[in-house]
Structure 1
Amino acid sequence: MQRKDFLRNGFAALGLVSIVPLACSKEDVTSPSGNDDTGGSSATGDCTVSPTETAGPFPTKTPSSLVRSDIRDDRTGVVLSVNITILNTNNSCTALQNAIVDIWHCDKDGYYSEYGGTGMQSVDYTNVNFLRGRQTTGTDGLVTFTSVFPGWYAGRAPHIHVHVYNTSGTSLLVTQIAFPEDVTKTVYTTAQLYGYTKGTQDTSNAADNIFSDSLDQELATIAGSISEGYTLTHTVYVAG
């Protein structure tokens, strides 16, 4: 997979959030395709590893200290339940038990915890760790988190970062999860009472430099409503 260029245009005109564009490109790796997933699955149903993606400029600094299922802290927004199933391609895509799963994402305003006060993110959140957490899969390969629906920032489609380790702590995969655009449009244009005031995202999934060539493998299924909250369901395939 070739490295893609960073998105360069259209950021200064936004003026809605003080974040310099952080459109990280894919790593120079060969990512298998054909992941069979209930949310954005491949039509082939192949048992292959999910795409490897960059951890981005804001990875969790000490994930082992954030073992928790409710990752909201003081962040407000539409409630989002995150259900991620880890399957093992080395064992006919059966559930991978005792896998360690870290997730992290921005808040409704597009800001990340653990970083800030720099050109990359002007608002300083270096001393907090909201919207970051770690869980271990059960016999069904499932981890669940309670979070808030993420916002967006210039140059990226809405997303969640995922890092999967085996039970010994060896890294198996870093990937990302995309959101259906009909759902994001609903939240960003009608959930003002929950604090979503920036309007519709500036970058579509198809134009996103992470998802543009792998969206069918990284697109989650999301069900629910603004008032009742949403549930995200996604399957990640690793060579465990």
Structure 2
Amino acid sequence: MTGNDINTPAHKRDLTRRKVVVAGGAAVAAVGVGGTLAATANAGQSGKGAGASASASSTSAETCYKLTSETTEGPYYIDADKLRTDITEDKEGIPLALRVKVIDAESCKPLKNVAVDIWHCDALGIYSGYEASSTGGGGTAPTDAPSGTPTGEPPSGAPSGAPSGGTGGGGVHEEPTDDERYLRGTWKTDRQGFVTFRTIFPGWYRGRCVHIHTKVHVDGEWTDAGYEGGTTCHTGQFFFDEESVLASAEVEPYSTSTTERTTLTEDTIYDQSGTTGGLLKLKYDKKNIAKGVQASITVGVDPEATNEGTSL
């Protein structure tokens, strides 16, 4: 993927007075996860920036949002070379169906055939491609971890080069240390702007709450080698509420981690703005999260902007 750092769009988009518009109804799709879970995607999402969830009785709804918050790319991004929706490979963890809808935040129309990247750590805080850079379970943290947020010291290790500050912080990109690519993937949105990934519930590492990284690319070309060219119009992260994270921490292998966890409110990358900031809408059996989790979110982007997330 190529592109410049964040530039001012060709025209200004005045979103401060945008009204939330709900036309009624929702688009519903089902995706099996581990043979135990079906993912239901609603066009509407709850949270700051959204006025209401759309009804499930219709399929014609559109919910307008403000631009979804931009965040740091972090040091562990690998250019889109795995075109797939199932990114689990052989990693253990709670099954997760992540349903993302991408819309133009100005027109509220779905964006079809755009590339959505996601990548995240495994259940013990390790990123594929960078296994030598983080040990998980109490070891060294990736360098996108902000300083000053941990609630305690882990048994061993310390973050290197950890920046301070909120969404302005972020580690410098690092070159991969290995050829692993689990929990990474890129796929295109359909005509309704939807794409669903099959993965696992992420774990955590020192200095960061539980999260998934994402990028949205437009105007590129789909080839056998991957997605090439185009512009990155959004770089962000998806977040999980505390109730779900606490529930996951009771399930193996998450329960074996000895890393001190940073909560959602302590995290200095998440801007505390709900859906606009990337907070996922989750659905799961509260008595048995191990069965799997359905996660959904609508991402409002400016397709004419360039947001690489490398200089936030």
Range of TM-score over shorter length: 0.7 to 0.9
Structure 1 contact 39–235 (Cα < 8 Å) conserved: no
- Name the aligned partner's letter for residue 93 of structure 1: C
Question: Highest CA radius of gyration, 1 or 2?
Answer: 2
TM-score of the superposed pair, with normalisation by structure 1:
0.76
* Residues 178-201 of structure 1 deviation map (CA, whole Å, 9 limit, x = unaligned): 10110111111x213x55322796
* Residues 76-98 of structure 1 deviation map (CA, whole Å, 9 limit, x = unaligned): 111001100001124x2111111
1:107 aligns with 2:114: no
- Of the three residues 212, 221, 229, the one matched with 2:281 is 221
- Name the aligned partner's letter for residue 231 of structure 1: Q
- Residue 248 of structure 2 aligns to a residue whose secondary structure is helix
Q: Using the alignment, how far apart are the partners of 1:73 and 1:137 within structure 2? A: 22
Q: Using the alignment, how far apart are the partners of 1:233 and 1:120 within structure 2? A: 27
1:177 aligns with 2:184: no
- Residue 212 of structure 2 aligns to a residue whose secondary structure is strand
- Match in the other structure for 1:48: 66
- Residue 196 of structure 1 aligns to a residue whose secondary structure is helix
* Residues 5-48 of structure 1 deviation map (CA, whole Å, 9 limit, x = unaligned): xxxxxxxxxxxxxxxxxxxxxx9999x78897614342568642
* Residues 62-109 of structure 1 deviation map (CA, whole Å, 9 limit, x = unaligned): 31x20001001121111001100001124x211111111000000000
Structure 2 runs not aligned, ≥5 long: 9-14, 21-43, 53-63, 134-139, 143-156, 158-175, 221-229, 304-312
Deviation at 1:206, TM superposition (A): 1.3
- Of the three residues 287, 295, 298, the one matched with 1:232 is 295
Q: Per the alignment, do residues 35 and 219 of structure 1 end up closer, same or farther by CA in structure 2, a change over 3 Å counting?
A: farther
Aligned length: 207
- Of the three residues 134, 152, 155, the one matched with 2:186 is 134
- Residue 135 of structure 1 aligns to a residue whose secondary structure is strand
Structure 1 contact 222–230 (Cα < 8 Å) conserved: yes
Higher helix share: 1
Deviation at 1:216, TM superposition (A): 4.6
- Match in the other structure for 1:38: 45
Structure 1 runs not aligned, ≥5 long: 1-26
Q: Per the alignment, do residues 28 and 136 of structure 1 end up closer, same or farther by CA in structure 2, a change over 3 Å counting?
A: closer
Q: What's the C-alpha RMSD, in Å, of the aligned pairs? A: 2.9
Q: Per the alignment, do residues 237 and 213 of structure 1 end up closer, same or farther by CA in structure 2, a change over 3 Å counting?
A: same
**Superposition map of 1:124-163 within 5 A:** 126-163=178-215
TM-score of the superposed pair, with normalisation by structure 2:
0.60
Deviation at 1:224, TM superposition (A): 1.4
Q: Per the alignment, do residues 69 and 43 of structure 1 end up closer, same or farther by CA in structure 2, a change over 3 Å counting?
A: closer
Q: Per the alignment, do residues 136 and 149 of structure 1 end up closer, same or farther by CA in structure 2, a change over 3 Å counting?
A: same
- Match in the other structure for 2:261: 202
Identical amino acids, percent of aligned pairs: 30
Q: Per the alignment, do residues 85 and 158 of structure 1 end up closer, same or farther by CA in structure 2, a change over 3 Å counting?
A: same
- Match in the other structure for 1:69: 85
Q: Using the alignment, how far apart are the partners of 1:40 and 1:47 within structure 2? A: 10
* Residues 180-230 of structure 1 deviation map (CA, whole Å, 9 limit, x = unaligned): 110111111x213x5532279621111101114434521101111324210
Deviates more, 1:38-47 or 1:76-85: 38-47
Structure 1 contact 35–48 (Cα < 8 Å) conserved: no
Q: Per the alignment, do residues 170 and 212 of structure 1 end up closer, same or farther by CA in structure 2, a change over 3 Å counting?
A: closer
